[in-house]
């Protein structure tokens, strides 16, 4: 009897060894870098606990000790989509596991905000327009329900943005709108808004804020020198020169967090889409929504105008991910969303 149990113990150990072996790397989907850093990285102290459970002479040999599956560290796979990302573009970092996990981490010096999904966690990351091109280290710490932690690492390729440089002339009566005393407080007010994170939109691609998509009159990421060179900055959104009064529609579900006149942005609206993702609409002639209001995709937000630091009727559409300005058009071209809902439209 003892011998039998000992043999069973050895068999159990063998099974465990097989289970905790190096997992095969899954086939790499085209646009996705997939790193499988399974439990093999961490020496597993697990099997030692199993055989030491001395076979007791009690009459309940069928009562198997602790379920072995929960003793193994979590299998965790880190994914970066896309593996090579442009300055000003959006990146999705996700970790999938065989059980519930929590994740935290950083890309370069930027802390990531992870959101839980089924046996997964994911983060949307805005790559700043001035992020250094080249390899950027990604480090993600994954913790399972038992508090066991493992660290997954990867590197993300940041691709330089071949943006243009233009010089802009601002009318004398609007020159004060270039001054840091004016631009600073307005930006600080919005930074406080962009830091809130509530899940609202569910990861489908965004639609255009204009029903009839017009060609952009100024692209995202353009480097602009305002007259005299007092202000040099990236264009943090995309401009559409369309007539005053043209309706602007919500590109995705969300909650209005700002709908008010500001000096630089004029009448402007910000929508919180959740997960640190915001969209903004500047220089409007009229506002049709109020802060706190939930909006559906396609709902009218207001109308195009030329209020604030603007030289003619146009819509400036901007998107921010955790405060970082990203290319809005990318959001209309691919679905960027929670793990498990990444499929395109
Ligand atoms: Zn603009």
Neighbours of 272 (CB within 10 A): 22
For residue 221, the CA-to-ligand 1 centroid distance in Å is: 10
Can you give the pLDDT at residue 203? 67
For residue 60, the CA-to-ligand 1 centroid distance in Å is: 75
Residue 215 φ then ψ, to 5°:
-65, 145
For residue 345, the CA-to-ligand 1 centroid distance in Å is: 27
For residue 238, the CA-to-ligand 1 centroid distance in Å is: 5
Task: Specify whether the CB–CB gap between 193 and 236 falls below 8 A.
Answer: no
Task: Provide CB contacts within 8 A for 189, sequence distance 6+.
Answer: 262
For residue 288, the CA-to-ligand 1 centroid distance in Å is: 21
Pairwise CA distance, residues 313 & 319, whole Å = 20
* Closest CA relative to residue 165, chosen from 115, 205, 214, 223: 223
* Closest CA relative to residue 80, chosen from 143, 161, 152: 152
Sign of CA dihedral 181, 164, 319, 127: negative
Distance of CA 277 to the CA centre of its chain: 7
Pairwise CA distance, residues 325 & 129, whole Å = 8
Distance of CA 100 to the CA centre of its chain: 20
Residue 267 φ then ψ, to 5°:
-65, 115
For residue 177, the CA-to-ligand 1 centroid distance in Å is: 14
Can you give the pLDDT at residue 57? 42
3-state secondary structure of 147: coil
For residue 275, the CA-to-ligand 1 centroid distance in Å is: 24
For residue 80, the CA-to-ligand 1 centroid distance in Å is: 30
Pairwise CA distance, residues 157 & 172, whole Å = 43
Output the DSSP codes for 37-88. Answer: --GGGS---HHHHHHHS---SSS-TTS--S-GGGGSPPPEEEEEESSEEETT
β-sheet bridge partners, residue 249: 300
- Which residues, given as ranges, of the chain have pLDDT below 70? 1-71, 196-199, 203, 338-345
Cα dist. 312→171, 182, 307 in Å?
Answer: 11, 21, 9
For residue 215, the CA-to-ligand 1 centroid distance in Å is: 13
**For residue 82, cis peptide bond before it (omega within 30 degrees of 0):** yes
The alpha carbon torsion through 188, 189, 190, 192 (nearest 10 deg) reads 80
Pairwise CA distance, residues 300 & 288, whole Å = 7
In the chain, what is the greatest distance between 2 CA atoms, to the nearest angstrom? 97
Q: Give tens-digit pLDDT for 178-216.
A: 888 988 999 988 887 877 666 677 767 899 999 998 899
Can you give the pLDDT at residue 16? 37
For residue 187, the CA-to-ligand 1 centroid distance in Å is: 15
Residue 142 φ then ψ, to 5°:
-110, 130
What pairing do the DSSP bridges indicate for beta strands 237-240 and 76-81? unpaired
Can you give the pLDDT at residue 71? 65
Cα dist. 157→118, 130, 280 in Å?
Answer: 28, 14, 28
For residue 134, the CA-to-ligand 1 centroid distance in Å is: 28
For residue 204, the CA-to-ligand 1 centroid distance in Å is: 25
For residue 218, the CA-to-ligand 1 centroid distance in Å is: 7
Task: Specify whether the CB–CB gap between 282 and 308 falls below 8 A.
Answer: yes
For residue 290, the CA-to-ligand 1 centroid distance in Å is: 23
For residue 182, the CA-to-ligand 1 centroid distance in Å is: 17
**Tokens of residue 227, six digits:** 């007259």
For residue 302, the CA-to-ligand 1 centroid distance in Å is: 17
| Domains of the chain, start order | 2-159 (2.60.40.10), 165-333 (2.70.70.10)
Task: Specify whether the CB–CB gap between 78 and 155 falls below 8 A.
Answer: no
For residue 240, the CA-to-ligand 1 centroid distance in Å is: 8
For residue 1, the CA-to-ligand 1 centroid distance in Å is: 80
For residue 162, the CA-to-ligand 1 centroid distance in Å is: 18
For residue 10, the CA-to-ligand 1 centroid distance in Å is: 69
């Amino acid at each position: 009897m003892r011998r039998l149990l000992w043999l069973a113990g050895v068999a159990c150990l063998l099974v465990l060894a097989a289970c905790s072996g190096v997992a095969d790397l899954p086939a790499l989907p085209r646009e996705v870098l997939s790193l499988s850093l399974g439990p093999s990285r961490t020496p597993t102290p697990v099997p030692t606990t199993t055989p030491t459970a001395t076979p007791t002479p009690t009459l309940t040999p069928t009562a198997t000790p602790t379920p072995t599956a929960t003793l193994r560290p979590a299998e965790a796979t880190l994914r970066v989509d896309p593996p090579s990302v442009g300055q000003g573009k959006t990146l999705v970092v996700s970790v999938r596991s065989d059980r519930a996990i929590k994740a935290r981490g950083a890309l370069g010096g930027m802390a990531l905000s992870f959101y839980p999904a089924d046996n997964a966690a994911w983060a949307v990351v805005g790559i700043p327009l001035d992020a250094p091109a080249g390899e950027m280290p990604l480090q993600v710490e994954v913790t399972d329900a038992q508090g066991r932690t493992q660290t997954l690492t990867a590197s993300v390729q940041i691709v330089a943005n071949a943006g243009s440089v233009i010089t802009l002339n601002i009318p004398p009566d609007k020159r004060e709108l270039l001054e840091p005393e004016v631009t600073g407080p307005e930006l600080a007010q919005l930074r406080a808004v962009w830091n809130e994170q509530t899940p609202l939109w569910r990861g489908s691609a965004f639609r255009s804020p204009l029903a009839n998509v017009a060609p952009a009159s100024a692209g995202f990421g353009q480097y602009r020198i305002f007259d005299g060179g007092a202000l040099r900055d990236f264009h943090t959104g995309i401009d559409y020169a369309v007539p005053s009064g043209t309706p602007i529609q919500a590109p995705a579900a969300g909650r209005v967090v700002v709908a008010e006149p500001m000096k630089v942005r004029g009448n402007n609206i910000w929508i919180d889409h959740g997960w640190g993702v915001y969209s903004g609409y500047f220089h409007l002639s009229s506002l049709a929504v109020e802060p706190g209001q939930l909006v559906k995709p396609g709902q009218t937000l207001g109308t195009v105008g030329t209020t604030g630091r603007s030289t003619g009727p146009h819509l400036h559409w901007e998107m921010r991910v955790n405060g970082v300005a990203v290319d809005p058009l990318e959001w209309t071209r691919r679905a960027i969303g929670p793990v498990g809902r990444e499929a395109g439209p």
